[in-house]
Amino acid sequence: MLQTDMQRRLAAEFFGTFWLVFGGCGAAIFSAAFPQLGIGFLGVALAFGLTVLTMAYAVGHISGGHFNPAVTVGLWSAGRCSNKHVVPYILVQVLGALLASAVLYLIASGKPGWVPDGFAANGYGDLSPGKYAMPACFLAEFVLTFFFLMIIIGTTSKGAAVGFAGIPIGLALTLIHLVSIPITNTSVNPARSTGPALFAGGAYTSELWLFWLAPLLGGLAAGVLARILWEPITITETTALVKESHGV
C-alpha cells in the first residue's frame, strides 16, 4: 500500500512513462509494420500523443504528469518542480521505459522469425529514418523539446484554460512526431529513447547520448525562458495549477 506523497508521485511517473513507451513504441513496432493497416507515421504520432493525453488525465494530478526526464528538468529550471523530485522522477521514468520495452520485446518475439531490428529506437546518420546527419538531428531534438516544454508550461500557468492542459500537450506531442519521425524517429524524451535502444543494441546504444543531451538542453532552455514569459509561481501554486489543468 502506498503510504507517502513521494511514493504516489513515483508510481504515477512510472506507470505514465510505461504507458507512453508501450503505447507509442508498440504502435511503431506492431501496427506500423503492416502497411495494410494504414496507420503509418500519422498513426504512430497519434499513438504517442494519446498516451500522454490519457495519462495526463489519469495520473497527472498526482505527480504533475512529466513521464519524461526532459520535462522534469525543464519544469525544474522553470521553478515548477521541487529539487527533491528531480532525480527520483528521472529514475522511475527510465525504469518505466525499460519495463515497457521489455514487455514489448517479449510480445514481439512471440512471432516466428521476428528480429528486433531498430525496435522503434532513435538514431542519427545511418540510423536516422531519413539518413539525417548528427547536427541536424541534434537541432531537431533540441528545438522540438524546447517547444514541447513551452507548451506544457504555458498550458499549466496562471490564466490558462482550466481542465484542458492535457489536450494541447497531447496534440503537441503528436505534431512533434509528425515533424521528426523521418529525422530521428522522434525522441524528445530520454527515457523513451533508452528503453528501445537497449533492446535494439549495437549502434543504437552508442548514439543514445544525443537523445539525452539534446532534449535535456531544450527543456532547460525553455524553463529559463519561461521565468521571463510567465508570472513566477511557487511550487505549491504549481501543484494546484496542475490539478486544475486536469480537471481535479
User: 198-220: per-residue pLDDT in tens?
Assistant: 999 899 999 999 999 999 999 99
List, in order of start, the domains of the chain with CATH numbers.
Answer: 5-245 (1.20.1080.10)
Q: What confidence score (pLDDT) does residue 2 get?
A: 47
pLDDT in tens, 151-185: 999 998 877 666 788 999 999 999 999 999 999 99
What's the distance, CA 1 to chain centroid?
27
Q: What confidence score (pLDDT) does residue 163 get?
A: 75
**Residue 1: band (very low, low, confident or very high) from pLDDT cuts 50, 70, 90:** very low
**Mean pLDDT of all residues in the chain?**
91
pTM of the model: 0.92
Q: What percentage of the chain exceeds 90 in pLDDT?
A: 77
What's the distance, CA 123 to chain centroid?
16
Residues in the chain: 248
**Residue 239: band (very low, low, confident or very high) from pLDDT cuts 50, 70, 90:** low
Section 124-147 average pLDDT: 98
Burial (CB < 10 A; 0-12, 13-18, 19+), residue 225, is middle
Distance, in Å, from the CA atom of 158 to the CA atom of 130, rounded to the nearest integer, reads 40
Q: Which of 205, 42, 18 is nearest to 97 (CA)?
A: 18
Answer positive or negative: Cα dihedral of 13, 188, 33, 103.
Answer: negative
Distance, in Å, from the CA atom of 30 to the CA atom of 51, rounded to the nearest integer, reads 16
Contact between residue 193 and residue 121 where contact means Cβ atoms under 8 Å apart = yes
Q: Considering only 26-30, 97-101, 218-222, which range has the smallest mean pLDDT?
A: 26-30
